[in-house]
Structure 1
Amino acid sequence: MASLKEVRNRIVSVGSTQQITKAMKMVAAAKLRRAQDNIIRMRPYAQRLNNILTNLSSVQGEAGQNVYAQKRDVQRVLIIAVTSDRGLCGAFNSNVMKAVNNLINERYRDLQAAGNVEIMAIGKKGHEYFQKRNFTMPGDYTGVFGKLSFETVRVAAEEAMEGFRTGYYDQVDIVYNEFKNVATQIIRTEQFLPIQESVEEQGTAQAESDYIFEPSKEEILEQLIPKSLKIQVYKAVLESNASEHGARMTAMDKATENAGELLKQLKLTYNRTRQAAITTEILEIVGGAEALAAGR
């Protein structure tokens, strides 16, 4: 049985840990509110812009002119993996890494064996993980979440788009956590490039006749499509940011509860140990008194 001092030290240590996890939960809750507001405002805009993007790519004759919609034989792939800069958020980061590994094993095993799969990790945890596994990693985006804005994310999106536009990459996928609620994050694996055409059936062509291209289709393709693609990456990062704070809040809440349960057990152990020590002292005193009485 542990000594009273050892149990007392553990109680103090667990109590300090509980205070830290409780504080981290409160900080994550405050950050989550702002991140959730940002993604809720972004979703309708990004969704509408993405609909326009896919519709433009499906207009007769436009897909051939749009370099970002060109389908090629897949010889080299870029995977954008969105993780976090910090840990202590449960399985948030490991789920992304697992999804990326599954994607490679299921679709790009041969390309990976040839060294033709590259990882663009947005977030320090993903960067460190894939760097240790000797993946080719274009760019360093480990500090994006420290000053999260469209401008910081735009650089990563432009690098991926430029690689596809020049033909260096034949396909670009993106893996991230989509925010559903505080306790639930959904792993999304989406094709970023080439742009997927609208899957709507025959009503699509009729619907597109309502579009008025001003000033021209060419300028629309040159300006709107790149902007829309950058918005899609920014949306994925905002989703991941909200998911991270939700996952951390949940993890810290659970850690605080576990610390509370451990404190109860330690205090019970402390009281039992203390009681056993007192009982032992009483028995020693009684035994000594009886010994003295017998010796008279």
Structure 2
Amino acid sequence: MANLRDLRARKKTVQATKKITAAMKMIAAAKLRRAQKRAQDARPYVQLMSKMLKDLLEANAKNDIPPLLAGHSQDDVHLIIVATSNRGLCGGFNSHIVKEAKRKISSLLRQGKQVKIICVGKRGRDQLKQEYGANILETYDAHDKPVYADAERLAKRVISLFEHKEIECCTLYYNKFLSALAYEPRHLSLIPFTPLDEDLKDTSSEKSALSSIYEYEPDQEMVLKKLIPENLCVQLYRAFLENAASEQGARMTAMDGATRNAGDMIHSLDLIINRTRQANITRELVEIIAGAEAI
């Protein structure tokens, strides 16, 4: 049995850890409120953008669709973008989305496809490089407060790869924020662009039977030329915002659990310390009584 000094030192260490995890929980909760608002505020714009592109595609089905929207005729080279975080201590936040991405990558490789990977967040890169290090093109930092410039920079890189015919398809993996306690892995096809079903839900009580009529200024080609790259930026930015909110929620939950576990461990150590002290006192009393009887 450990002596009292070791037990008290261990208790002190656990108490210090508990203070750290409790502080991290409070910080994550504060960041979560801001991140949640940003993610939710961005959703209506993304939904409108997705609906607009869907309507434009349906209205111009007979015309040539820009390759960046429809993709090339082949799908032999896939780009997988995996959005994770730079830091850990957030439960299964990173491992869940990496698991989904690995399943897709493995499936593509079995089909004889070529796969290239871009990681957003160091944690995703660290988990993927063990199996697919040769497939990783580059890694971008993930931020607690994503800015549009981050999405724009990545979008330009994706467009460049596509225009130089280094990739033919692109899929984005990220975590969608559901609540402070829940998030859900999502995958979105960016090239060819396939909107999420949830982004196409009609918010009106009754959908109009009339088709939308668009007037283009200056012309359709110029509008689509601007709108399609903009959509790529918007979809990436939304994913970064959803990921940031999900990360803070996961971290808050993980730190709450760690704080509770530390409290339970401190309680257990208190019991062990008390029992050890009682055993020591009993032993000393027995020694004193035995000595007195010997005299």
**Unaligned segments of structure 1, at least 5 residues:** none
2:32 counterpart SS class: helix
* Paired letter, 2:288: I
> Aligned residues, how many?
285
**Distance in 1 (alpha carbons) for counterparts of 2:134 and 2:79:** 11
**Where does residue 137 of structure 2 map in the other structure?**
138
1:140 counterpart SS class: strand
- Give the Å deviation of 1:190: 1.8
Q: Which moved more, 1:57-66 or 1:1-10?
A: 57-66
* Paired letter, 1:140: T
**Distance in 1 (alpha carbons) for counterparts of 2:48 and 2:143:** 25
**Distance in 2 (alpha carbons) for counterparts of 1:185 and 1:197:** 19
Identity across matched positions, percent: 38
Q: Which moved more, 1:219-228 or 1:55-64?
A: 55-64
- Give the Å deviation of 1:6: 1.4
- Give the Å deviation of 1:197: 7.7
Q: Which moved more, 1:41-50 or 1:157-166?
A: 157-166
* Paired letter, 1:125: R
- CA RMSD in angstroms comes to 2.2
**Where does residue 244 of structure 1 map in the other structure?**
247
**Unaligned segments of structure 2, at least 5 residues:** 201-206
| Counterpart check, 1:207 vs 2:211 | yes
**Where does residue 93 of structure 2 map in the other structure?**
92
* Paired letter, 2:175: N
**Distance in 1 (alpha carbons) for counterparts of 2:153 and 2:127:** 22
1:175 counterpart SS class: strand
**Distance in 2 (alpha carbons) for counterparts of 1:99 and 1:171:** 17
Q: Cα deviation per residue 1:179-223 (whole Å; 9 max; x = unaligned)?
A: 0001111000221111238999xx999523x22222211111110
CA contact (8 A) 2:176 2:243 kept: yes
- Give the Å deviation of 1:61: 4.6
CA contact (8 A) 2:96 2:185 kept: yes
What is the TM-score normalised by the length of structure 1? 0.90
**Where does residue 101 of structure 1 map in the other structure?**
102
**Distance in 2 (alpha carbons) for counterparts of 1:22 and 1:67:** 51
* Paired letter, 2:100: A
**Distance in 1 (alpha carbons) for counterparts of 2:83 and 2:50:** 20
CA contact (8 A) 1:57 1:195 kept: no
**Distance in 2 (alpha carbons) for counterparts of 1:13 and 1:198:** 48
**Where does residue 182 of structure 2 map in the other structure?**
184
* Paired letter, 1:80: I
What is the TM-score normalised by the length of structure 2? 0.90
Provide closer, same or farther for how the CA distance between residues 122 and 62 of structure 1 changes in structure 2, counting only shifts above 3 A.
farther
